[in-house]
């Protein structure tokens, strides 16, 4: 028997409409590429989004068209999130840190109709233009006064698209499974793969965030998304913040420790979201100034595992650290590690043990771990296995890529994350490594992640990575690669001694290599693929 309730499709545009009605003065502050600070509200933004939607239609944008963005975090980029999806088109965010080859592939594979680009990235498109779709039209995210001189033909000005349009709109109805967003993985193996989000999955993800992280996502708080809008929808903040009434402070392209500190201090940011490398820079700035930014009380850290030393540094200064985990294919939030009340009273070391895990699942995400044969393993916190997920915010397949889709789902329809993990009886997830980053030495597994976390506690280490290198006797052995801090150069034996206290002798790296800088992927993670090519392949 079916229930007797109305069924209205979940639509992204309803989020900004809701915010305009319920939180009209909720603020969006942006550091602009033009060099100034821009301030607006959810009410004013909803009007500009309506004008943008009308302007897109005037340009011939239809339902299902892919509309690309190449931009920093800012109010115009935020407007595109709603104006594009609101009329049934697909907002395709592109990471400007991708290689030229990957960017060319992505734009052509998505068959983008329009590309909205920040001033900073116009030179990139000038170099790639001949290899992009011929019918692609370029829009620069600025006003006429700041339009750059460019070799690109027929370039449009963003503000002129909005000029003359009405600031109200009746958003069209369409099914809630209409495509709304497109984000590609960074393609560490093979071509990048596209995750195609729906209105339903995006709205549900926003609700999940607000329910799971209520102390941060609530009316009146001010949140700094250091995580880029081009990286899996800034972890959902462009949707969760308007739904909850939280304000957004967009940093533009300046993500160094000093710039982030100054912006947070001036705008009284309560919560900041981003990857560990950003927080290491912020912590250095905090230590140099001897104080925290005014109003600062919370960070959400993800993208890669947060070192225990980083979590401890913030927690001992009174900053709550929420260690989170997810994937592009998951919208992206899968787990979060805000501790329940009974665990917040634990001694610091025990709290850090919990905080270093990836935390408990968010509503709507189911998790299981299995062995190599696909058999389910117990959630006892001791046994590790391959991590699989399913849920309403998890992809059901890659965009226009059936071959890649077949490889990542099991017979029950669960998605393979590529992570190796344990789950304890309380539901806390602990990622022990990426499947491809585990080191098998003499038939025994060594976790590169465990070794890295220990090394990162050394005050002279700015960053590190552990990779497997071939070994004629043991098959593989760990190699430690270290980027030292500018003011300190640890000795090899110091780092080995540090590890020897915590791990078995056979797990110790055979060598330590110091580098000036670690290679990073387009999403700010250490590129172990690059390191393996540099070091492991040379040793074969």
Give the residue among 331, 324, 259 at the shortest CA–CA distance from 298. Answer: 324
Are 406 and 457 within one domain? Answer: no
pLDDT attached to residue 327:
93
Q: Is the dihedral of CA 278, 283, 286, 291 positive or negative?
A: positive
Asked if 419 contacts 431 with a C-beta cutoff of 8 angstroms, the reply is: yes
Q: What are phi and psi of 88, to 5 degrees?
A: 90, 5
The CATH number that applies at residue 535 is: 3.30.300.30
List the Cα angle 31/70/262 in 5-degree steps.
20
For residue 438, the model assigns a pLDDT of 80
Contact assessment for residue 487 and residue 535, using Cβ atoms and an 8 Å cutoff: no
Same domain, 380 and 516: no
The pLDDT of residue 416 is above 80: yes
| Mean pLDDT to the nearest integer, 283-287 | 96
Regarding whether 451 and 415 lie in a shared domain, the answer is: no
What would the pLDDT profile of 1-27 be if each residue is shown by its tens digit? 999 999 999 999 999 999 999 999 999
**In the predicted model, what is the mean pLDDT of residues 337-356?**
95
In sequence order, the 6+-apart residues with CB closer than 8 A to the CB of 218 are 244, 245, 246
Name 36's Cβ contacts closer than 8 Å, sequence gap at least 6: none
Selecting among 79, 267, 312, 329, the annotated active-site residue is: 329
Instruction: Specify whether 397 is located in the same domain as 508.
Output: no
- In angstroms, the CA 515 to CA 480 distance is 11
Of 177, 204, 231, which marks where a domain is finished? 204
**Structural domain includes residue 485:** yes
For the chain, helix, strand, coil in percent to 5 are 35, 25, 40
Phi, psi of 196 (to 5 degrees): -110, 105
Question: What are the CA-CA distances from residue 505 to residues 14, 110, 461, 500 (Å)?
Answer: 58, 49, 22, 6
- Establish if 89 belongs to a structural domain: yes
* Six token digits for residue 432: 């022990």
411: its two tokens:
């017979």
Nearest to 317 by CA among 299, 335, 341: 299
User: What backbone torsions phi and psi does residue 105 show, to the nearest 5 degrees?
Assistant: -60, -45
More confident: 62 or 438: 62
**pLDDT band at residue 399 using 50, 70 and 90 as cut-offs:** very high
Its domain, for residue 452, covers: 438-539
**Least confidently predicted of 76-80, 125-129, 227-231:** 227-231
Q: Is 185 a catalytic residue?
A: yes
Q: Give the mean pLDDT of 149-174.
A: 97
Are 396 and 177 in contact by the 8 Å Cβ rule? The answer is: no
Give the pLDDT band (50/70/90) at residue 539: low
pLDDT for 316: 97
DSSP 365-379: EEEEEE-TTS-B---
Q: Is residue 101 part of a domain?
A: yes
- Among 268, 350, 406, 445, the one annotated catalytic: 445
Domain membership flag for residue 525:
yes
Domain boundary among 204, 219, 250: 204
- Is residue 505 part of the annotated active site? The answer reads no
**Confidence at residue 473, expressed as pLDDT on a 0 to 100 scale:** 81
Residue 219 is a catalytic residue: no
Q: What pLDDT shows up at residue 538?
A: 61
Torsion of CA 360, 366, 372, 378, to 10 degrees: 60
**For the whole prediction, is pTM greater than 0.85?**
yes
pLDDT at 44: 98
CA angle, residues 188, 365, 87, in degrees to nearest 5 = 75
Instruction: Please indicate, yes or no, whether residues 450 and 385 belong to a single structural domain of this protein.
Output: no
Q: Are residues 67 and 159 in the same domain?
A: yes
Taking the C-alpha atoms of residue 479 and residue 536, their distance in angstroms, rounded to an integer, is: 9
Whether the predicted pLDDT of 190 surpasses 90: no
Per-residue model confidence as pLDDT tens digits over 417-469: 989 999 999 999 999 888 878 887 876 778 888 899 899 999 999 999 999 99
Give the residue-averaged pLDDT of 501-527.
Answer: 89
The edge-to-edge listing of strands for the beta sheet with 385-391 is 365-370, 385-391, 415-423, 429-434
> Across-strand partners of 198?
179
C-alpha–C-alpha distance, residues 387 and 395, integer Å: 15
User: Within this chain, do residues 490 and 402 fall inside the same structural domain, yes or no?
Assistant: no
> Of 72 and 99, which is predicted with more confidence?
72
pLDDT-derived band at 482, boundaries 50, 70, 90: very high
**Residue 126 and residue 81 share a domain:** yes
Q: Check the CA dihedral 73-76-77-78 and report its sign.
A: positive
How confident is the model at residue 99, as a pLDDT?
A: 81
Alpha helices in 228-289 (DSSP H): 237-244, 257-267, 276-289
| Cα(517)–Cα(355) distance, integer angstroms | 28
Catalytic residue, from 17, 33, 185, 195: name it: 185
Same domain for 190 and 45: yes
The answer to whether residues 363 and 397 touch, using CB atoms and an 8 Å cutoff, is no
Q: What is the CATH number of the domain that holds 139?
A: 3.40.50.12780
Number of domains in the chain: 3
Residue 199 located in a structural domain: yes
Q: What is the pLDDT of residue 462?
A: 92
In the block, tokens 């709603």 appear at: 82
Does residue 150 lie within any of the structural domains? Answer: yes
**Is 440 an active-site residue?**
yes
For residues 184 and 105, what is the distance between their CA atoms, to the nearest angstrom?
Answer: 11
419 & 442 share domain: no
Structure tokens at 378: 């117990």
Question: For position 523, what pLDDT does the model report?
Answer: 74
Mean pLDDT of 167-196: 90
Report d(CA 415, CA 38) in Å as an integer: 41
426 and 448, same domain (yes or no): no
Percent of the chain scored above 70 by pLDDT? 98
Beta strands in 33-74 (DSSP E): 37-41, 66-70
What pLDDT, on a 0 to 100 scale, did the predictor assign at position 243?
98
Residue 523 domain flag: yes
C-alpha distances in Å from residue 242, one per residue of 8, 178, 334, 403, 491? 20, 21, 21, 37, 49
Catalytic-labelled residue, pool 215, 317, 440, 533: 440
What is the pLDDT, as a whole number, of residue 187?
A: 54
- Position 250 in a domain: no
Q: What percent of the chain has pLDDT over 90?
A: 84
pLDDT confidence of residue 189:
53
What is Dmax (Cα atoms) for the chain? 73
Out of 406, 434, 462, a domain closes at 434
Q: Which token pair is 220?
A: 């009146």
Rounded CA-CA distance 140/155 in Å is: 7
The verdict on 403 and 527 lying in the same domain is no
């Amino acid at each position: 028997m079916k229930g007797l309730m109305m069924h209205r499709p979940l639509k992204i545009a309803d989020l900004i409409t809701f915010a305009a009605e319920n939180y009209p003065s909720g603020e969006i502050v942006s550091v602009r590429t033009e060099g100034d600070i821009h301030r607006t509200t959810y009410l004013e933004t909803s009007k500009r989004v309506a004008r943008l939607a009308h302007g897109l239609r005037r340009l011939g944008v239809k339902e299902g068209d892919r509309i690309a963005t190449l931009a920093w975090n800012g109010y115009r980029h935020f407007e595109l999130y709603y104006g594009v999806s609101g009329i049934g088109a697909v907002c395709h965010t592109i990471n400007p840190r991708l290689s030229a080859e990957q960017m060319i592939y992505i734009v052509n594979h998505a068959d983008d109709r329009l590309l909205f680009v920040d001033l900073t990235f116009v030179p990139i498109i000038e170099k790639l233009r001949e290899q992009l779709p011929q019918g692609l039209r370029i829009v620069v995210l600025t006003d006429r006064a700041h339009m750059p001189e460019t070799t690109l033909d027929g370039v449009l000005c963003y503000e002129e698209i909005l000029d003359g349009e009405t600031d109200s709109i009746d958003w069209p109805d369409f099914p809630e499974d209409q495509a709304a967003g497109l984000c590609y993985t960074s393609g560490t193996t093979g071509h990048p793969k596209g995750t195609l989000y729906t209105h339903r999955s995006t709205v549900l993800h926003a609700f999940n965030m607000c329910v799971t992280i209520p102390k941060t996502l609530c009316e009146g708080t001010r949140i700094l998304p250091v995580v880029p809008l081009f990286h899996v929808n800034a972890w959902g903040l462009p949707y969760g913040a308007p739904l909850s009434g939280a304000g957004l402070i967009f940093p533009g392209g300046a993500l160094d420790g000093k710039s982030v500190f100054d912006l947070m201090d001036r705008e009284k940011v309560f919560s900041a979201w981003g990857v560990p490398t950003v927080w290491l820079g912020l912590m250095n700035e905090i230590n140099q100034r001897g104080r925290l930014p005014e109003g600062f009380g919370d960070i959400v850290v993800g993208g890669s595992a947060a070192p225990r030393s980083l979590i401890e540094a913030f927690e001992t200064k009174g900053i709550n650290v929420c260690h989170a985990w997810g994937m592009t294919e998951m919208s992206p939030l899968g787990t979060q590690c805000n501790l329940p009340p009974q665990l917040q009273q634990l001694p610091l070391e025990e709290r850090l043990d919990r905080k270093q895990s990836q935390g408990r699942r968010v509503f709507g995400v189911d998790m299981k771990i299995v062995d190599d044969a696909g058999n389910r393993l117990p959630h006892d916190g001791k046994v590790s296995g391959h991590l699989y997920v399913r849920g309403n915010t998890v992809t059901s397949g890659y965009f226009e890529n059936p071959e890649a889709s077949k490889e990542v789902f099991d017979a029950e329809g669960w998605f393979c994350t590529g992570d190796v993990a344990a789950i304890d009886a309380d539901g806390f997830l602990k990622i022990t490594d990426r499947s491809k980053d585990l080191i098998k030495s003499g038939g025994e597994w060594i976790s590169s992640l465990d070794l890295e976390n220990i090394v990162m506690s050394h005050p002279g280490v700015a960053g590190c990575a552990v990779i497997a290198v071939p070994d004629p006797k043991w098959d593989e052995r760990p190699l430690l690669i270290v980027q030292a801090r500018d003011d300190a150069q640890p000795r090899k034996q110091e780092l080995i001694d540090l590890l020897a206290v915590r791990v078995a002798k056979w797990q110790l790296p055979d060598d330590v290599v110091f580098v000036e800088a670690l290679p990073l992927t387009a999403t700010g993670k250490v590129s172990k693929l690059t390191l393996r090519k540099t070091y492991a392949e040379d040793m074969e």
